[in-house]
Amino acid sequence: MRAELIRIEDPLKEKEKMELASRIIRCGGTVIFPTETVYGLGANGLDPEAAYNIYQAKGRPSDNPLILHIADMEMLGLVARNLGEKALKLAEVFWPGPLTMVFDKQDIVPAETTGGLSTVAVRMPGNEVARELIRLSDTPIAAPSANISGRPSITMWEDAVEEMGERVDAILLSEPSEVGLESTIVDMTEDIPVILRPGKIGLSELEAVVGPVRVDKAVLGQGDAPKAPGMKYTHYSPNASVYVIKGEGMVERILEEYQKYREEDPVIFAMEKHRQHYEGLKLYSLGATSLEAAKVLFSYLRKADREGHGIVLMENVGEDEVGLAVMNRAEKAAGGKLIYANSKGKMHKRNGVNRI
Ligand code: TXA
Ligand code: MG
């Protein structure tokens, strides 16, 4: 184990431990830290070499830009320009919290952090440990999700230690992530803000604050090159094959697929209200609401691998805004293996993605 493991209960009281972590950041090292969305793999966002260390640790393509995490509005001015009134309103309502905004970057932000783009993504996290770490490090912290590139994001320190223990300088051991899905990303460089990645904060919440907001076509599966470069890569993939099942007759179809794949030891990710339909079968409960499902999805994908399941059969968790964000991640994990329950198993292609 190369990483220093630092347990944090209360970031404001445990000054020495927080100092140690911030010293590693100031010296150009890498620290995995909790946020309310998912755990982040952080380094000094204004230091090109530190940013390089992040790409190395994750095995991430270097054209995929990082999010800068800030502790206060002063840091926002340091890294971003042409902020505009709408962004300030969104910041006032949703920061600190699970919202990332994209702005024109200031010169101080190195090209290594932004993957060569002239824009920069910025978030003020709600998690106290995260904000205290940024404050003590006295620099914006660049942090992608803490997983190896292409794997499911990490929401619990145990998964961080298992996957990244040999790859980073320190890991802060803290609470599981409250939201469980990465932040909503909104591009603020256009007159009408554009959602580049869906998350807990949905379209209607954003529109209630700033009026009309668009959703990037790539998010809707309409084939444009995504404006958030990271959205084009294979994502969230466990070793198990994931199938997402939607539509009328969903439960019956899952039962059929379960029998079909029996030899590969399938597990069903199901809403709690459907538990009784799957009696005697292997099941992880997604809870009662899409919010509860969001919180457990990534850790379940990892658990399925740990327990040796070859197949995951995942229910649709709902069409509300958080539900759509959850299904956006699930469908990426499935790599296009989306089954419409009433489609009688025929494969057809839409938008270049195989649908069964
Ligand atoms: O909740 C989150 O956002 C977590 C936590 C750690 O804060 N971070 C996270 O980072 O999800 P990452 O690197 O896994 O995803 C960042 C996404 C990528 O899809 C990236 O392409 C996009 O943000 N992105 C970053 N900078 C961008 C920019 N200037 N313009 C457009 N997209 C950008
Ligand atoms: Mg990620």
pLDDT of 162: 97
pLDDT of 226: 77
Which atom in ligand 1 lies closest to the alpha carbon of residue 69?
7
Among 39, 41, 62, 67, the mutation site with the greatest number of ligand 1 atoms within 8 A of its Cβ is 67
> Does ligand 1 have an atom closer than 6 angstroms to the CB of 30?
no
The span from the CA of 226 to the CA of 221, in Å, is 10
User: Which residue's alpha carbon is at the smallest distance from atom 21 of ligand 1?
Assistant: 230
Ligand 2 centre and the CA of 92: distance in Å? 25
Going by DSSP bridges, is the β-strand pair 311-315/338-340 parallel, antiparallel, or unpaired? unpaired
Which atom in ligand 1 lies closest to the alpha carbon of residue 231?
19
Ligand 1 centre and the CA of 312: distance in Å? 26
> Does ligand 1 have an atom closer than 6 angstroms to the CB of 216?
no
Among 38, 172, 185, the mutation site with the greatest number of ligand 1 atoms within 8 A of its Cβ is 185
Phi first, then psi: give them for residue 292, nearest 5 degrees: -65, -40
User: Which residue's alpha carbon is at the smallest distance from atom 31 of ligand 1?
Assistant: 228
Q: What is the block-wise mean pLDDT of the chain (356 residues), using blocks of 10 residues?
A: 95 97 98 98 98 95 94 98 98 98 98 97 98 98 97 97 98 98 98 97 98 92 74 80 95 97 98 98 98 98 97 96 96 90 56 42
Closest CA to 110 of 188, 51, 187: 51
Ligand 2 centre and the CA of 145: distance in Å? 4
> Does ligand 1 have an atom closer than 6 angstroms to the CB of 182?
yes
Q: Please name which ligand lies nearest the alpha carbon of 151.
A: 2
Q: Please name which ligand lies nearest the alpha carbon of 141.
A: 1
pLDDT of 234: 67
| Residue 228 identity (one-letter amino acid) | A
The span from the CA of 149 to the CA of 152, in Å, is 9
Helix (H, G, I), strand (E, B) or coil at 141: strand
Helix axis angle, 203-210 to 321-334, nearest 10°: 130
Ligand 2 centre and the CA of 54: distance in Å? 12
Ligand 1 centre and the CA of 16: distance in Å? 30
Closest CA to 325 of 223, 188, 179: 179
pLDDT of 228: 81
User: Cβ atoms within 10 A of the Cβ of 276, count?
Assistant: 8
> Does ligand 1 have an atom closer than 6 angstroms to the CB of 37?
yes
Surrounding residues of ion ligand 2, Cβ less than 5 A? 145
pLDDT of 249: 94
